[in-house]
């Protein structure tokens, strides 16, 4: 199974494995005109991953720009297939918003009763325990497994479920392979000693899946303690 494209409203991302496939998919521009839609050449970009081919891709005789990163649905994708650029961009945006509030933090007209002074240090584990909260990383992981269970219960021909277990074709570069959502899920399943029953079968039982995820969190919480 090959994942050919990602579509959301008028944002399209075409995935190709050869130069011929890439050029052929630009024919969507001509097909779009027939139904009153136009492809913006200035906003169409080419991102190459793990390939030595540098032949240009054209639309109506114009070469599309080759880029090292591009933004799709608010997330930055780079030529290495990693999320570093996206994480840095999100941290930068949060820092800008924080600095915009500097006048409020330093305002002399606001009562000190509205400000918090915490001179004593406290460990993260103790802070989480006192506030009855879990780390943001664990909260994200918990929501992720909720989504995984929902996705695995979809029909086998659903593109969302196919994309979850999809293996891209081609050869990876030398060195340690990058971590993926699928590898992380398989590692957690092995940690839970659930090799005998795959996650696909487990997810079909909503109650069983919630118990599985709850057990996974119990293990993680005990390790933190």
Is the model's pLDDT at 195 over the cut of 60? no
Tell the residue number behind the tokens 């994309």, with chain if given. 163
Q: Two tokens at 91?
A: 């941290």
pLDDT of residue 196: 44
Q: Is 64 exposed, middle or buried (0-12, 13-18, 19+ CB in 10 A)?
A: middle
CA 47 to chain centre: 17
Which residues, in sequence order, are bridge partners of residue 3?
A: none
The residue extents of the domains of the chain are 5-81, 84-121, 136-169+178-222
Q: Which residue has the higher pLDDT, 204 or 110?
A: 204
Q: How far is CA 9 from CA 5, 72, 90, 158, in A?
A: 13, 12, 23, 18
In the chain, pLDDT over 70 holds for what percent of residues? 83
Coil/strand/helix, residue 38:
coil
Between CA 151 and CA 202 the distance in angstroms is: 12
Residue percentage of the chain with pLDDT more than 90: 6
pLDDT tens-digit series, residues 82-99? 788 899 999 999 999 999
78 φ/ψ angles, rounded to the nearest 5 degrees: -115, 175
Reduce the DSSP state of residue 53 to 3 states and report it. coil
Terminal alpha carbon distance of the chain = 43
| Range with the poorest average pLDDT among 54-58, 111-115, 128-132, 141-145 | 111-115
Tokens coding 95:
């820092």
* Residue 14 near residue 46, CB atoms below 8 Å: no
pLDDT band at 75 (very low <50, low <70, confident <90, very high): confident
pTM over 0.75, yes/no: no
Cα(179)–Cα(161) distance, rounded to whole angstroms? 19
CA distance 93 to 76: 13
Q: How many residues does the chain have?
A: 225
pLDDT band at 110 (very low <50, low <70, confident <90, very high): confident
């Amino acid at each position: 199974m090959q994942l050919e494209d990602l579509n959301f409203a008028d944002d399209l991302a075409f995935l190709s494995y050869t130069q011929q496939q890439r050029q052929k998919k630009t024919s969507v521009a001509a097909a779009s005109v027939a139904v009153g839609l136009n492809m913006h050449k200035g906003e169409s970009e080419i991102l190459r991953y793990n390939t030595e081919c540098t032949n240009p891709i054209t639309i109506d005789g114009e070469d599309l720009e080759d880029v090292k990163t591009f933004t799709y649905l608010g997330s930055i994708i780079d030529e290495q297939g990693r999320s570093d650029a996206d994480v840095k961009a999100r941290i930068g945006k949060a820092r800008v918003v924080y600095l915009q509030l500097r006048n409020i933090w330093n305002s002399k007209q606001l009562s000190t009763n509205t400000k918090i002074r915490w001179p004593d240090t406290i460990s993260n584990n103790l802070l989480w325990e006192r506030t009855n909260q879990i780390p943001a990383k664990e909260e994200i992981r918990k929501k992720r497994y909720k989504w995984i269970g929902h996705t695995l219960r979809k029909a086998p021909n659903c593109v969302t479920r196919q994309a979850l277990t999809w293996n891209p074709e081609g050869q990876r570069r030398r060195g340690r392979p990058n971590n993926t959502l699928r590898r992380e899920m398989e590692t957690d399943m092995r940690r839970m000693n659930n090799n005998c029953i795959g996650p696909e079968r487990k997810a079909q039982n909503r109650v069983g899946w919630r118990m599985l995820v709850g057990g996974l969190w119990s293990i993680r919480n005990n390790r933190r303690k």
